[in-house]
Amino acid sequence: MNATELLRGAVDLHIHPSPSPYPRRVDAIGAAEAAARHGMRAIVLKSHHSDTAMLIDAFADRGLAEIPVTVKGGVVLNSQVGGINPHAVALSLAMGGRIVWLPTISAPPHIASTGHAFPTATVDLPEEPPVDVWADAEGGELKPELHEILAMLAKADAILASGHVGAASIVATFEAAHAAGVRRLLVNHPNFIVDVGSAEARRLVELGAYIEHEASMYDERSKFHAYGIETLEGWIELAGPEHTVLASDLGQANNPLPPESLALIAERLSANGTAAEDLRALLARNPARLLGLDEDAAA
């Protein structure tokens, strides 16, 4: 299959646009236009620092609403929005947000990580304080505010994404989310920062989670390139294509455009024998199901 066929109807759940303290290649309109050129169906905009549901609303009457791509947003529970803050979540969901990510740049594993090509802010920002999901240092109980947020997500039928918290935090939070009635669960890049192992991944799949892998980490043109395609193929086999999502995690300056990287990695999977039906699941059906879009249109 060629790039045009592979990306027709695709949904990218992980794009980083401007404005941002980090250098970006595209804004909301640029990201949507690039997706439209490749025949994609929907994208989700993510910011480590602010609520993108509000951003989408601001861009709607500047041309975003005229682009034939569904654009959704959400909020990451980093220090800039108050951490594990139910008020930030309530606002995002009320403004049309569809994903709430656990902490990313504020997550303890992210702060402790070294050797990764994270962008450098172009403005002066204070040192990032850690934001954890645990109520105590022993990690025995989740923060009560997190339980409030899980109830909101269940009521809104929105997505909980794992962000950059560690594997034990992801499993504990997703178990609590499942018990609270959250049915849309997404694990971001399990082998990057968060160190989700095979047993933990299987447990998360049992809870109904989808495992998201980022094309940027398998594309040698990207500053985030870290793995060969065989690593991705192993993860797809572990979780099953029915529980796997391929996203870009792109939008940064000096990186490929999100659809370009998605297309390249999808073409490599196809060339290595991944079935067309499985690729449709990774690129279109599974992310569409998570976003609550009509799955028939992604078939």
Do β-strands 99-101 and 210-214 pair in parallel, antiparallel, or remain unpaired? unpaired
Residue 297 has pLDDT above 60, yes or no: no
Residue 296 has pLDDT above 60, yes or no: no
Residue 298 has pLDDT above 80, yes or no: no
Binned at pLDDT 50, 70 and 90, residue 77 comes out as very high
Torsion of CA 45, 46, 49, 52, to 10 degrees: 40
What is the average per-residue pLDDT within 66-91?
Answer: 98
**How far apart are the C-alpha atoms of 236 and 255, rounded to whole Å?**
25
**How far apart are the C-alpha atoms of 245 and 260, rounded to whole Å?**
17
Binned at pLDDT 50, 70 and 90, residue 128 comes out as confident
Whose tokens are 């989808």? That residue is 210
Q: Is 115 left (phi over 0), alpha (psi -120 to 50) or beta?
A: left
Query: Is the pTM of the predicted complex or chain greater than 0.75?
Result: yes
Which pLDDT score, from 0 to 100, does residue 171 have?
98
Binned at pLDDT 50, 70 and 90, residue 290 comes out as very high
Which pLDDT score, from 0 to 100, does residue 137 have?
82
Q: Mean pLDDT check: name the lowest of 9-23, 114-128, 229-243, 254-268.
A: 114-128
Whose tokens are 């594309």? That residue is 219
What is the average per-residue pLDDT within 6-27?
Answer: 97
pLDDT in tens, 207-261: 999 999 999 999 999 999 999 999 999 999 999 999 999 999 999 999 999 999 9
Query: How confident is the prediction for the chain on average, in pLDDT?
Result: 95
How many Å from the N-terminal Cα to the C-terminal Cα in the chain?
15
Percent of the residues in the chain that have a pLDDT greater than 70, as a whole number: 98
Residue 299 has pLDDT above 90, yes or no: no
- Return the DSSP state at 297: G
Residue 7 has pLDDT above 90, yes or no: yes
Residue 30 has pLDDT above 90, yes or no: yes
Quick one: tokens of 138?
């022993």
Which domains does the chain carry? 3-298 (3.20.20.140)
Which pLDDT score, from 0 to 100, does residue 21 have?
96
CA 141, 143, 146, 150 dihedral sign is: positive
